Copies of this chain bind each other. A is one copy, B any other.
Amino acid sequence: MNGRAAALGDAATVALRSNTVAFTTDSFVVRPLRFPGGSIGDLAVNGTVNDLAVSGARPVALVCSLILEAGLDVAVLRAELEAMRAAAERAGILFVGGDTKVVDHGEADDLYITTAGIGDPLGMELGPQYVRAGDRVIVSGPVGDHGITILLARGDLDLRAELESDSRSVWPFVEALTGALGSRVRWMRDPTRGGVATSLSELARDARLGVVIEEARVPVRDVVRGACEILGIDPLHVANEGQFLAVVAAEACDAALAAIRAVPGGAGAAAIGEIRDAHPGIVQCRTPYGSSRIVDMLVGDPLPRIC
């Protein structure tokens, strides 16, 4: 458990390691509320924890705010509160406050959860401005599991498969990676809505550099690949809730993979590409057949309420 928290009437006070704090928020409206490998409560914790982690901050404390639709089954609410408690415990983060609002039937869809989180910044220089040509792109594990799990759970696709959301805290991996590499980690991001493609496109745009990824090196489970083929979507556009992308110095790439793989659940980490001077702002994907395609940001939202 990080941080110390003291309850006050209207706000909690939390002890930090320094006088700088990382601060973030996300709302969660995923449908269905429960799906293989997770639930909305679980996502609401991990999503905010992961935003702190990939910003280079140790997650310390969370607050949550619930919007409930009148008539919501109390057992459903209890299950999600328990999911939040368990996820926070796993992530080593404290809940220090919250709020609840109830709206009429038809003014929400069962339950929406908003979390905000604070963390202790590690003091690293992370961001597109620190990325250089020659740096390597790493992903922490298989991509697309969360988005395809949600799609299958909705029953929109006449397909049964053994697949679970990847919902988890990425902090243990980030801690191992940043501990091993220090300033040789240049940039991190959790590829949620819009997937790996959108995160890397934003990186290419903001760093004014090119990104080249090798399609064959991107870890994608067969069932995810198959579902994507049926749907005509690219696994690189599918949401993840327990993976992160990192750009690291070329000479530190093996050490980076070793650090992530040494953490339980990190065996699937892979180096998937490289930063280039050529084609600034563009993400290219090299196919196993030797051709290249341009990977765009996700436009529109083909998979609404995925998180």
Contact = CB atoms under 8 A, between A and B. Distances in A.
A64 B16 CA distance: 22
A74 to B, nearest CB: 16
A15 interface: yes
Residue of A14, A17, A66, A106 with highest tally of chain B CB at under 10 A: A14
Contact of A55 (B9, B18, B65): B9
Contacts of A118: 21, 23, 118
Contacts of A64: 25
B107 A109 contact: yes
A32 interface: no
Given A27-B67, A107-B108, A108-B108, A13 B19 contact: no
Residue of A29, A51, A54, A116 with highest tally of chain B CB at under 10 A: A116
A25 B98 CA distance: 6
A27 B99 CA distance: 7
Interface string A187-219: 111100000000000000000000000000000
B66 A27 contact: yes
Interface of A: 8-29, 50-52, 54-57, 61, 63-67, 96-104, 106-109, 112, 114, 116-119, 121, 126-127, 187-190, 301, 304-305
